[in-house]
Amino acid sequence: MTISGVNGTGQRRPTMKEVAARAGVALKTVSRVVNEEPNVSPELTAKVQAAIKELNYTPNESARMLRRGKTGTIAVVIRDIGDPFFASLGRAVELWARSSGSVVMIGLTDEDPDRERDVCLEFVARRPDALIMAPIGETQEYLAPHVDAGMAVVTIDRPAHGIEADAVLADNAGGIDQAIDHLVRQGHRRIAYLGDDERIFTARERVVAYRAAMARHRIEVDEDLVHLSEPTTEGIGITLSAVLDRPEPATALLSANNMTTAEVLRGLAGRRDQVALVSFDDLALGDLLSPGLTAVAQSADVMARTAIQLMTERLPEPHRPGRTVRVPVKLTIRGSGEIPPAG
């Protein structure tokens, strides 16, 4: 345990006043050197820096940043740290924070709008410089007073509503187009779509893109092959039976997110080589499956870096108009999406 005024070895921390006494300068001079303020002569700066080194003085970084109106803290609010996409996002932000001397707070919403609001308000009460979040609620207007006060907000995967914020989104429509085009080239027309709850922004964009892509290929959508629900083992099992165990079964599956894909692979055990599968979102071990997983890959690292860039640009201009950046996705072919229709 570390007690205020005591360092990790149990020794009392030297004070700024003691640094001033050792350097033979005024206390205000030490403060100016520590806070990197101008108008301190090189000679006095050298004396203060020598005293700091001799006493092993460590400035109170929190107090210094608060005086500058900054806390050096970034809040990250995401759905689920167990989701590979969001786990990669959290890690990318943490690595950036570590290199920049910032601290990250991570909170989880579990796709619950009330939980999102509670977590965000709890975090912003701690005065973070910025908030990176994957919104789930219909509006984030509850953050408006904090945005008006200068807090930078960047959303990732989904846009915000009710506040001025930047957004980093995947090219959902482009990814679905790539998946459908690929399956049609393999000869498929009965392509089942397995997606998440349509209230979720990404789920909504992707199913709309699926219908548009099918229409572009002049393929009528069989609504019995479209299933939108939370990806549970039991639920996906029922869905697979509904689309595969029927007189005219689907010959291909388009799984619209990695959590659904994981359950689809579990449900297809023993017959993965009988139906084509393309996933929107890759899986960490997708290349080790048999057949390998054909997937539309979105890069959490690229999205995180883009969010961080937008955040650093917004910090000095917190009231500028919001920007939206669409990050490209890429179809990775490994075998599961190349299984031809039976017969």
Tokens of 10: 């149990």
Q: Which range has highest mean pLDDT (25-39, 50-64, 216-230)?
A: 216-230
Helices 16-23 and 27-34: crossing angle in degrees, nearest 10, is 110
What is the mean predicted confidence (pLDDT) over 100-126? 91
- Mean pLDDT across the chain, nearest whole number? 88
By percentage, how much of the chain surpasses pLDDT 70?
Answer: 92
pLDDT one-digit tens code per residue, 69-96: 466 889 999 988 888 788 888 888 888 8
Asked if pLDDT for residue 270 goes beyond 90, the answer is no
By percentage, how much of the chain surpasses pLDDT 90?
Answer: 58
Q: Is the preceding omega at residue 291 within 30 degrees of 0, hence cis?
A: yes
Asked if pLDDT for residue 141 goes beyond 90, the answer is yes
* Distance between start and end Cα atoms, the chain: 70
Indicate the range of 6-10, 38-42, 92-96 predicted with least confidence.
6-10
pLDDT one-digit tens code per residue, 309-326: 999 888 888 888 999 999
Asked if pLDDT for residue 60 goes beyond 70, the answer is no
Q: Which range has highest mean pLDDT (46-60, 119-133, 146-160, 178-192)?
A: 178-192
pLDDT of 239 reads 94
What is the mean predicted confidence (pLDDT) over 248-257? 96
For residues 54 and 4, which has the higher predicted lDDT (pLDDT)?
Answer: 54
**24 band by pLDDT with thresholds 50, 70 and 90:** very high
pLDDT one-digit tens code per residue, 204-224: 999 999 999 999 999 999 999
Asked if pLDDT for residue 22 goes beyond 60, the answer is yes
For residues 114 and 198, which has the higher predicted lDDT (pLDDT)?
Answer: 114
pLDDT one-digit tens code per residue, 162-206: 999 999 999 999 999 999 999 999 999 999 999 998 888 999 999
pLDDT of 11 reads 53
- CA–CA separation, 51 and 39 (whole Å): 19
All domains of the chain in start order, with CATH? 16-60 (1.10.260.40), 69-170+300-328 (3.40.50.2300), 172-299 (3.40.50.2300)
159 to 130, 170, 338: CA distances (angstroms)? 16, 11, 34
**66 band by pLDDT with thresholds 50, 70 and 90:** very low
pLDDT of 212 reads 98
For residues 83 and 154, which has the higher predicted lDDT (pLDDT)?
Answer: 154
